[in-house]
Amino acid sequence: MKGRFSVRFFKRVITFTVLGIILALLVTVIIQALRIGSLKEGVLNGTAHAYAESQPMDYQKKYPELYVENQFEKLKAETKTVYLTFDDGPSKENTRKILDILEEYEIKATFFMVHNGNKVADEIIQRVIDEGHTIGIHTYSHDYEEVYQSVESYLDDFNKLWSNLKERFGYEAKIFRFPGGSINAYNLAVYDKIIPEMYRRGFLYYDWNASAEDAMDSGASKEQIVKAILREVRRNDRSIVLMHDSSYMGTTVEALPEIIETLKEEGYTFKALDETVKPVSFARL
């Protein structure tokens, strides 16, 4: 009896020990999931700042002026709305032509700009501002390998263009777009660190859910661009459309009037993005 009791006792000890380990692992997994969920929820409810301060990093001390005011909890999503966005400009060849078209149809758009330091580019930037369009940061260099080395390198590059716009044009950009989108082959190791840091500083990023597909190596014809955009816009409740206004995007300019006219006839409204618009995002924290 005594021997059987001892064996039974130790079996129970082992069983409860194993169950305790399993329970501890489950609790750990749940806590980690809640932390990730809290960060994501905090980003949209304006508490990302408090979260980030609870886990300070050296890069958080950089560029103390690189902050903007945003109220993430008031983001809106308007149906049947199209947000035309143009990346990689300004260019003297195409950005002015696009501005002329937008003026003709009396609609506003968004320009995610890179640095192009010349007099013509400065004149275009001023025109974009004067005509009521939105400027977003698309990084200074657009060098994927450079900007995605680390959070620090991203901030270094971002701040160059952001501070240039603020100091020279009095324009405070509050939105941005990652080169290649918020998650891509170059930023897999850092996107989940860059995003909360940019939210902490008040900046919103915008991916897209409709694309002109005008940045393909082989180029895209006017017909291909029109077809691609109309197809994808019609699938969405609202659309953030990716287009490009860099120097070799002539067919994008050619396609723009038909896109605008067709969508207007179908009852769509065109607006520029700003910090009150709910983003389309590839990345999920």
Write the CB contacts of 277 (distance below 8 Å, at least 6 apart in sequence).
Answer: 75, 76, 77, 78, 83, 206, 271
Q: Are 102 and 108 in contact (CB under 8 A)?
A: yes
Dihedral in degrees, nearest 10, Cα atoms 215, 151, 279, 69: -130
Res 73: pLDDT: 79
Hey, is 213 helix, strand or coil?
coil
Per residue of the chain (285 residues), what is the pLDDT tens digit?
A: 444 456 566 566 677 676 767 666 665 545 554 454 444 455 555 555 555 555 679 999 999 999 999 888 789 999 999 999 999 999 999 999 999 999 999 999 999 999 988 899 999 999 999 999 999 999 999 999 999 999 999 999 999 999 999 999 999 999 999 999 999 999 999 999 999 999 999 999 999 999 999 988 668 999 999 999 999 999 999 999 999 999 999 999 999 999 999 999 999 999 999 999 999 999 776
Handedness of CA 85, 142, 196, 37 (dihedral sign): positive
Alpha-carbon distance of 254 to 22, in angstroms, equals 63
CB burial string 218-236: b at 16+ within 10 A, e below: eebebebbbebbbebbeeb
The DSSP 8-state label assigned to residue 143 in this structure reads: -
Write the CB contacts of 226 (distance below 8 Å, at least 6 apart in sequence).
Answer: 255, 258, 259, 262
Res 250: pLDDT: 94
Tokens of 218: 């082989």
Q: Are 114 and 142 in contact (CB under 8 A)?
A: yes
Alpha-carbon distance of 82 to 26, in angstroms, equals 45
Beta bridge partners of 86: 111, 243
- Residues 127-131: contacts with CB under 8 Å, at least 24 apart: 127/96, 127/99, 128/90, 128/95, 128/99, 129/169, 129/171, 131/99, 131/102, 131/103
Res 77: pLDDT: 94
Most distant CA pair in the chain: distance in Å?
97
Q: Are 83 and 239 in contact (CB under 8 A)?
A: yes
